[in-house]
Amino acid sequence: MGWKKKSIALISVVLTTGIVLEIGKSYIMYSLDFDEKVEKYDQHIVLYVDNIFVRSRFCYPHYQYEENILLKKKFK
């Protein structure tokens, strides 16, 4: 075998292995319902998006406490 055929075979094996591992990971994550927690969290956020004042938390650090107070008031 020439070096071209060896390099093509190596690339094919690496790509095939990567695809198989990615499909296996996705199947395991799906079967264990890891993505369900994310969906529930997103639905929870959507309920409160209209009523929460959103501010960039990195501009002024002392506003982070105020942001938490707003969230606590809404959830009570």
Residue spans of the domains in the chain: they are 1-32, 33-76
Can you give the pLDDT at residue 12?
95
For residue 72, the one-letter residue type is: K
Can you give the pLDDT at residue 76?
47
55 or 18: which leads in pLDDT: 18
Its pTM surpasses 0.75 = no
- What tens digit of pLDDT does each residue of 4-49 get? 999 999 999 999 999 999 999 888 877 776 655 544 554 455 555 5
CA atoms within 13 A on the CB side of 31: 6
